[in-house]
Amino acid sequence: MTLRTIAHSRSGDKGIMINISLIAFDQRDYPRLVRHVTAARVKALFAELADGDVTRYELPLIGALNFVLHRLIGGGVTRTLAIDGHGKSLSSALLEMEIPDED
């Protein structure tokens, strides 16, 4: 299943960093997000956009994860000459990540 089945997301870019949140629709799905949406998987998903560390913050009281991706390639949307979507669109890309249907 894709993440969009059990969660929604918000994101934005801040210079050479991207911030992406992932929020479970149902609190019971939060442990599944914690197990399957690791910083390493998010880093691999966005490897073409950011070559720095990915930090994951867990927010269990609201059933959310927050990822910060460092060192956007080209300096981010305001500095690169490449056609580059704003960080706001990257939440949709994260929601396409596949996770197991059942644990």
Distance CA 23, CA 7 (A): 5
Domain ranges of the chain: 3-80+88-95
In which residue ranges of the chain is pLDDT below 70?
Answer: 73-88, 103
What local confidence, expressed as pLDDT, does residue 81 receive? Answer: 47
Q: What is the DSSP string of 80-101?
A: -SS----GGGHHHHHHT-B--S
The domain over range 3-80+88-95 is classified in CATH as 3.10.560: no
Question: pTM score, two decimals?
Answer: 0.85
pLDDT in tens, 69-88: 998 766 555 555 444 455 56
